[in-house]
Structure 1
Amino acid sequence: MKLLVDSGSTKADWIAIDDDGKVLFITQSLGLNPEVLSHDQILDRLNEKFDISQNKTNVSHIYFYGAGCGTDRMKNYMTDIFKKYFKNATVLVQEDTFAAVFATTAKNEKAIVCILGTGSNCSYFDGSVLHQKVQSLGYIAMDDGSGNRFGRHLLRAYYFNKMDAELAKELAKEFDLDPDYIKNKLYKEPNPNAYLATFAKFLIKHKENAYCKKIIKKELKAFVKNYIMQFDNYKEVPVHFVGSIAFYLKDELEAMLLKKGIKLGNVLRRPLDGLIAYHAVD
Structure 2
Amino acid sequence: MQEILIADSGATKTDWSLTRNGEIIHRFSSKGISPVFQTQEEIAEEIKLHVYPVLKDKNIEAVYFYGTGCIPEKTALVRDAIRQSFPANTIHVYSDLIAAAHSLCGHEAGIACILGTGSNSCQWDGSSIVKQISPLGFILGDEGSGAVLGKHLVGDALKNRLTEGLKEALLDEYSLTPASIIDKVYRQPFPSRFLASLSPFLLKHIDDRSIRRIVTHTFSDFFERNVMQYDYQKNKVNFVGSIAWYFSDPLKEVAAEKGIGIGTITQSPMSGLIDYYRNRE
TM-score bracket for the superposition, by shorter chain length: 0.7 to 0.9
Shift of 1:222: 0.8
Bigger shift: 235-244 or 147-156? 147-156
- TM-score, normalised relative to structure 2: 0.84
2:192 aligned residue: 193
The residue number in structure 2 matching 1:7 is: 9
**Unaligned residue ranges in structure 1 (runs of 5+):** none
Please state if 1:274 is matched with 2:276.
no
Q: Is the 8 A contact 2:33 2:67 kept in 1?
A: yes
C-alpha separation in 1, matches of 2:182 and 2:12: 17
CA gap of 1:124–1:85, structure 2 versus 1, over 3 A, is same
Q: What is the deviation of 1:46?
A: 4.5
Quote how far apart the aligned CAs of 1:44 are.
Answer: 7.0
Aligned length: 275
- Which residue is equivalent to 1:64? 65
Counterpart-to-counterpart distance in 2, 1:160 and 1:200: 18
Q: Which amino acid aligns with 2:98?
A: F
The residue number in structure 2 matching 1:23 is 24
C-alpha separation in 2, matches of 1:148 and 1:31: 19
Residue by residue, what CA displacement relative to the aligned partner does 1:168-199 show, whole Å, maximum 9, x if unpaired? 2322333232545873687554x443332211
**For 1:124 and 1:57, how far apart are their aligned partners in 2?**
40
Higher relative contact order (CA 8 A, sep 6+): 1
Checking the alignment, whether the CA contact within 8 Å between 2:43 and 2:78 is kept in structure 1 is no
Equivalent residue for 2:95?
A: 95
SS at match of 2:137: coil
Q: Distance in 1 between matches of 2:10 and 2:111?
A: 20
Q: How does 1:1-282 map to 2 (within 5 A)?
A: 1-18=3-20, 20-35=21-36, 37-39=37-39, 42=43, 46=47, 49=50, 51-55=51-55, 58=58, 59-69=60-70, 71-88=71-88, 90-105=90-105, 107=107, 109-177=108-176, 179=179, 183=183, 187-189=187-189, 191-231=190-230, 233-280=231-278, 281-282=280-281
Deviation (angstroms), 1:114: 1.0
Is the CA contact 1:9–1:194 (under 8 Å) kept in the aligned structure 2? no
Give 1:264's aligned amino acid. Answer: I
* Cα pair 1:246 1:253 within 8 Å, conserved: yes
Distance of aligned partners of 1:139 and 1:65 in 2 relative to their CA distance in 1, 3 Å threshold: farther
Q: CA RMSD in A?
A: 2.9
SS of the residue aligned with 1:216?
helix
**Paired residue type of 1:153:** H
- Point out the more displaced range, 251-260 or 149-158: 149-158
Aligned partner of residue 140 in structure 2, secondary structure: coil
CA contact (8 A) 2:48 2:85 kept: no
Q: Name stretches of at least 5 consecutive residues in structure 2 with no aligned partner.
A: none
* Equivalent-residue separation in structure 2 for 1:244 and 1:177 (angstroms): 24
Q: After TM superposition, give the deviation of residue 57 of structure 1 in Å.
A: 7.9
Q: SS in structure 2 opposite 1:247?
A: helix
Q: What CA deviation, in whole Å up to 9, does each residue of 1:80-121 have, x standing for no partner? A: 3333353446321111122222222264x2211111111111
Amino acid at match of 1:172: L
Q: Is the 8 A contact 1:99 1:271 kept in 2?
A: yes
Alignment partners' CA distance in 1, 2:164 and 2:32: 34
Q: What's the TM-score once normalised by structure 1's chain length?
A: 0.83
Range with greater deviation from structure 2 (4-13 or 271-280)? 4-13
After superposition, the Cα gap between the structure-2 partners of 1:46 and 1:148, relative to the gap in structure 1 and judged at 3 Å, is farther
Q: Structure 2 vs 1, CA of residues 38 and 91 (structure 1 numbering), >3 Å: closer, same or farther? A: same
Contact 2:110–2:125 (CA under 8 A) maintained in structure 1: yes
Cα drift, residue 79 of structure 1: 2.7
Which residue identity does 1:270 align to in structure 2? S
Q: 1:253 to 1:181 in 2, by over 3 A?
A: closer
Of all paired residues, the percent bearing the same amino acid is: 32
